[in-house]
Amino acid sequence: MDIVRLTAETYLKYFVLTLESNAEIIASDDAVNSASKMVFDLYKRLRLMDDRYARMVPGLKRLSMNTGFNVERWFAPFVHKWLEQLSERTLTWVTNAVHADVFEPLGTEEDAPHHSSSIADLFSAVYAELDFIRDLGWSDAVQSAQFLQAFAKTVSKAIEQYCDAIALGEIKAEPAHGSGWTAGLLGTKAVNGPKDIANESCVKLCNVEYAMSKLDDMYRLMNVAALARVIREHRAETAGSSSNHLSPTGSATDDMVTGAFKIQLSYAENLKPCTKTGLANPYVVVRVPDGTIVPPSASAAPKTAASTTRTSTSSSGPSVLTGTHCELARSRAVQDTLNPSWDETFQVMLPPVDRLEVAVLSKNLLTSDECAGRAVVDLGPRTRLKRKLADHQTHDVYIEMEPQGRVLVRLTMEGADEDVDFWFRRSKERLGRTRDDFVRALTARIVPVAREVITKSIKDHEAAPLPSKSFFSSLTTATQYSTKTAAGRPIAEPVSAKEADDGIATLTDYLNKNLETLCSLLSTRMAQEVIRRTWDETLLIIEFLLVPPLYGLLERDRRVLNPRQVSMALATINIMRDFFHADGQDLGLPLRALDTRKYADVTALIDCYDSDVGRLRREYELGVLGGKDREFLL
């Protein structure tokens, strides 16, 4: 008679009954909220008891294989609820980390991003929770993958909240009160003069870069590809076993598009003017139709919750999307243009739909946003677009808007369900959008100074008006201009190198000061990206001064530039090109990065600015007959 075996089996029998009777208490909200540490200690002690029992009685199988003893079965509901609570704590992590940060770079290696304490504290908390989950030693591969998928969703939520927090005051305006709020609505400026780039802005951009690198490290540490494969295989097995129990409505949803979807909002052209200046402040919204139904399988369980917000009719029934809950993607607003470029990417979980609604609206601070165009993207089963999306590649979709214009949207159908990889992609793309927004914001602080200085330097060389013969003649006749500038220089004489340098000295001094800040705090890649975008904006400023825009109102006093002004424009381009190249040293851009298509277009425009229109037309027609591409020089 084996006394040890009989004793162990007897005590184990009643111990299992005790655990079974307390299973609901273990998985209760009270246990999660106030006794998480004790429950996890109990779990670890039971796992240890299981291991010791196997060593004490080698002839017996593990407790998990005998007597109904399964530790993980009892504690899995508790872990799921604990992960839900963990997701709710992300806002506390982010708030505490940001409030304690003064956004000064920590002492790190020279090549690493000069990040501050907030992003380091946030990822310390994230890694601590990841280590805790991994230390559970969960043997069920599917459940372990589901836990890590829920954790990846929590990380994605924390990153979104962090990006929103650091964007205040940099990309998004901070909530204002009183006279400052009124001044913002009226468009008045509280502070005049050029605005320097702050160290804090550069440190925040470095924080985003640091977050992207830590996210890559976490992706490798978690072996996300293997986790996604486990979940994919489990879903395939589940679908196969339940194929004989499909509902009669299953065939209807099979004809719709659903699952993980990537939407890239690229740019728009020739939108409807919405402001008094003949322009717009456009942003684009992509949404599903009102009344879209989300099946219970996509909304009932936390582990398969879609990324869009929804209105649920019940905890287990289908959800109906209405109002703002239908939105899938919303871009930022681009000021004063009819040809905006957004370049924003969104990872979404698409409920079963057969069409998408796209609307372009113009941002207005005083009244409701005006619609600049609407369209519907047909994803029906017989459409060519749905057949193209089935290859899971990215496809360019040009959407013709009503009443005018078009929008380029890039669509990618990535999979049937969300998984760990989906949430990592979503996190990386949110960080990428925030990084691009910070680069754009840094460039936007430089561009007004460049526009003001370059415009003034070219206008200073316009022909001086001749004095009117009498007061009445000034009212009845057009203004006559002399052949000299206000400084007395002939308008046919090109500017000298010294005059060109003196004309934009204010701009080069400003750039020297602020680019030093960029180069000392930002990584090489980000600093060069800001410099490259500043160069692109400089070319656009000069192009605008040379030729009128296609859309919008023109200035009343706008005139064709004289030869001296054209020479000043060319000299400005050459000076700025050499300035940004910096002899190829340090963070200077290589010439191949500066000699862009826009650079070639603007210099070609300057070369033929005073040419005869008839001769240009004949050269164009001969070029087309000779096999050259059709190009239009405005």
Residue 311: which pLDDT band, with cuts at 50, 70 and 90?
A: very low
What the block records as the tokens of 42 is 């109990």
Q: What is the mean pLDDT of residues 590-618?
A: 89
What the block records as the tokens of 305 is 């919750």
Q: What is the mean pLDDT of residues 124-130?
A: 92
Residues 594, 582: Cα–Cα separation, whole Å = 12
Residue 64: which pLDDT band, with cuts at 50, 70 and 90?
A: very low
Angle of helix 505-521 relative to helix 524-546, nearest 10 degrees, comes to 160
Task: Evaluate if residue 194 carries a pLDDT over 90.
Answer: no
Residue 289: which pLDDT band, with cuts at 50, 70 and 90?
A: very high
Q: Give the type of residue at 437.
A: D
- 427 or 106, which is more confident? 427
Q: In angstroms, what is the C-alpha Rg of the chain?
A: 32
What percent of the chain stands above pLDDT 70? 79
DSSP classification of residue 172 = B
Task: Evaluate if residue 556 carries a pLDDT over 70.
Answer: no
Task: Evaluate if residue 266 carries a pLDDT over 70.
Answer: yes
483-495 confidence digits (pLDDT tens): 888 888 898 999 9
**Would you say 231 and 423 are in contact if contact means Cβ atoms under 8 Å apart?**
no
Q: What is the mean pLDDT of residues 452-477?
A: 76
What is the predicted pLDDT for the residue at 108? 57
Q: What is the mean pLDDT of residues 257-266?
A: 87
Which of the given ranges, 189-193, 229-233, 446-450, 474-478, has the highest pLDDT on average? Answer: 446-450
CATH of 441-625, one of 1.20.58.1100, 1.10.10.410, 3.20.20.70, 1.20.950.20: 1.20.58.1100
| Phi-psi region at 405: left, alpha or beta (left = phi > 0; alpha = psi -120 to 50) | left
| Phi-psi region at 19: left, alpha or beta (left = phi > 0; alpha = psi -120 to 50) | alpha
Task: Evaluate if residue 298 carries a pLDDT over 50.
Answer: no
What the block records as the tokens of 415 is 């999979």
Q: What is the mean pLDDT of residues 223-227?
A: 91
Task: Evaluate if residue 113 carries a pLDDT over 80.
Answer: no
User: To which H or E segment does residue 34 belong?
Assistant: helix 29-34
Task: Evaluate if residue 190 carries a pLDDT over 80.
Answer: no
Residues 572, 459: Cα–Cα separation, whole Å = 13
In the Cβ-directed half-sphere of 601, how many Cα atoms lie within 13 Å? 15
- 290 or 238, which is more confident? 290
CB crowding 233-245: b at 16 or more within 10 Å, else e: eeeeeeeeeeeee
Task: Evaluate if residue 551 carries a pLDDT over 90.
Answer: no
Q: What is the mean pLDDT of residues 374-387?
A: 90
Task: Evaluate if residue 411 carries a pLDDT over 60.
Answer: yes
What backbone phi and psi angles, to 5 degrees, belong to 352? -60, 115
- 170 or 212, which is more confident? 212
Residue 288: which pLDDT band, with cuts at 50, 70 and 90?
A: very high
Contacts of 116 (CB under 8 A, 6+ apart): 101, 102, 103, 104, 105, 106, 203, 204, 206, 207
- 175 or 171, which is more confident? 171
How far does the chain reach from its first CA to its final CA, in angstroms?
102
What is the predicted pLDDT for the residue at 71? 75
Task: Evaluate if residue 313 carries a pLDDT over 80.
Answer: no
| Fold type of domain 250-418 | Immunoglobulin-like (2.60.40)
Which of the given ranges, 25-34, 50-59, 589-598, 607-616, has the highest pLDDT on average? Answer: 589-598
What is the predicted pLDDT for the residue at 206? 94
Residue 248: which pLDDT band, with cuts at 50, 70 and 90?
A: very low
Maximum C-alpha span of the chain: 131
Task: Evaluate if residue 374 carries a pLDDT over 50.
Answer: yes
Average pLDDT, the chain: 81
Strands 395-400 and 311-312: unpaired
**Secondary structure of 175-240 as H, E, C letters:** CCCHHHHHHHHHCCCCCCCCCCCCHHHHHHHHHHHHHHHHHHHHHHHHCHHHHHHHHHHHHHHHHH
Q: What is the mean pLDDT of residues 499-527?
A: 92
